[in-house]
Structure 1
Amino acid sequence: MNKQKTAALLSGALAAAGLAVMVPSTSTAAAACAAPYAASQVYTGGMSASYNGHNWNAKWWTQGETPSTGGSGVWADQGACGGGGTTPSPSGTTQACNHPVWVAGTNYTTGSIVKYAPNGQYYIATHDNPGYDPTISTWYWSPYTCTGTGTPSPSPSTTTPNPSGFVVSEAQFNQMFPNRNSFYTYSGLVAALSAYPAFANTGSDTVKKQEAAAFLANVNHETGGLVYIVEQNTANYPHYCDTSQPYGCPAGQAAYYGRGPIQLSWNFNYKAAGDALGINLLNNPNLVQTDAAVAWKTGIWYWMTQNGPGTMTPHNAMVNGAGFGETIRSINGSIECNGGNPAQVQSRINSYTSFTSILGVPTGSNLSC
């Protein structure tokens, strides 16, 4: 979209909200420079810095990456700048800096102004929207500088907690999986949490969110964005019956194919997961593709209890600081790690980076395996 059209849309949105707007023309002087970039500073989505005569906006969490149009792509060039200070607020916006803290999932109308607690900055809704994250959904939110004085916005600790008790809100979940199959419900995921209370509930708030992001990133990769419920290669179905097991395959030789968010497969895994969860999955493996809560429980069961081809459970990898890369090793081992399939590893890392950004936390170290 060209700059003139973008400016016209923003102008119309703000005008509809009764707010004046100053749209710079192509002939005006360069904008004032933001605070100089500092390598030691943590920048989260929406934060600005000036570097080499240009202003730059961070798209997500970053530290130590010099602003440029290359690298990881975290920096967006805002054009040449000059002088000191920060870009002024749109003219006419003289309201005090006491706007409410943004709450995920809340419906906001055009012109609403909120404070985003993770980075302390203010945003204005350029379109009606259902509470999408201001630092991610740039179509719905625009950075805003408030003026005047007033009572500060409530601190994050005084905001209403997510009613589900999960560190990922339903709005954030929907943002992570915009094309998901309706089978994979948020309510099913929340219902599954009771099976393993330590899941995404161990350590600091940052660690909890990192673990949730890591789990959902691997799930995203395994299911094509929560699109696939069952394994797509039907030719593999008869191969998942280990006849050496004393209990055999009572549901049929071809009944133990991959299902659910972590693609549970093999008769012995259905037996182990079912025993742990108190569900007879050995005889009723179809529950994993017909009951959303059961499906999510099998994914969390693997995450919390199985080392797989790795050296630790994915849960332990995240809460003990081993890093996201070790969760990949626990799921697919040498098939992907140690150079086995770097493209698949990078796909998982990209999802994890995106999801931690949505949750407003850093990725941590050791992303690859």
Structure 2
Amino acid sequence: MVRFASLFVATLVSAATLVATPAQAVGFQTTANNLNVRSDAYLSSSVIKVLPGPVAVDVDCQRSGDSVTVPGKAATTWWAHLPAHNGYVTVGYLNTTATKLPGVPECAPNPNPPVNVTLADVQAMFGSRIANPTLVNQGLPSLNQAMRDANITTARRKAAFLATLVHESRLEYNIREIGDTRLYGGRGYIQLTGDFNYGPAGRYFGIDLLGNPELARSLQWSAPIARWYWTVARNINPMADALHMGKVNAAIGYPAGAEDQRRCDSFKNALRYLTGSVPAGIICTRPTAYAGDTSKLSRAQFDALGIAPGTVG
């Protein structure tokens, strides 16, 4: 019986391995050090990984996007999808002189492309909190991409995310917390704070945030870092799904107080704009376990606050 089970498991593993590499994948070599793998075929798309040096990669499809010119090569608008890394690199940094990869199919279009948030949208949601419309508008392409990458595509998730950011940074990607002179003080959309956040965020993206904390409020990294905090440092989408703005605020990391209600009111305004009404069941207050400053907790420690004593599994 054990022998049969082992053979069965081995067969499943073998089958899974075969599925992992698409049949139509074509092998190439990257030609650059520290090559960004982006979530889509645009320079504004968030960086999801950095390939440290020339490496072999499989390409299963290609997509037209932003034009990129690599020294010594013709400009190309084509980007190769790397299934092993779940992202795109420009064809310009692959070992080919072609501007479009021969023998590689085009990627299927997204049948349900997410709707971008516009400047008019956030002004309608948050009014005078949008204090610098030009700057907010400049950051929206990267912020919309980060929202897509984080699966912030429903009204509840968009409302919670945008309401949080408008209070954190007024939706200005390059903001520095006023009066905060600490080396790892608040920066960017999500006001990244503390070496306990700068370090892990930098490692996740393959950049040295501890050595260069100002990257946290650059146009390139501010939105991806907000996405990282929302989905990696914390798991906030389910809280938004449950209309529990109290837990969302706790997850951002500051002690309970009057600010919770202000952010919850912004959440309601955003929902009213996005859906035409404010649903019943919104929770603005925090459970007692979340009342303190949770900013320095790891994700595991934060998640444990919501687990009843003796709970397993």
Shorter-chain TM-score tier: 0.3 to 0.5
Q: Which has the larger radius of gyration?
A: 1
Higher helix share: 2
Superposition TM-score, scaled by structure 1 size = 0.41
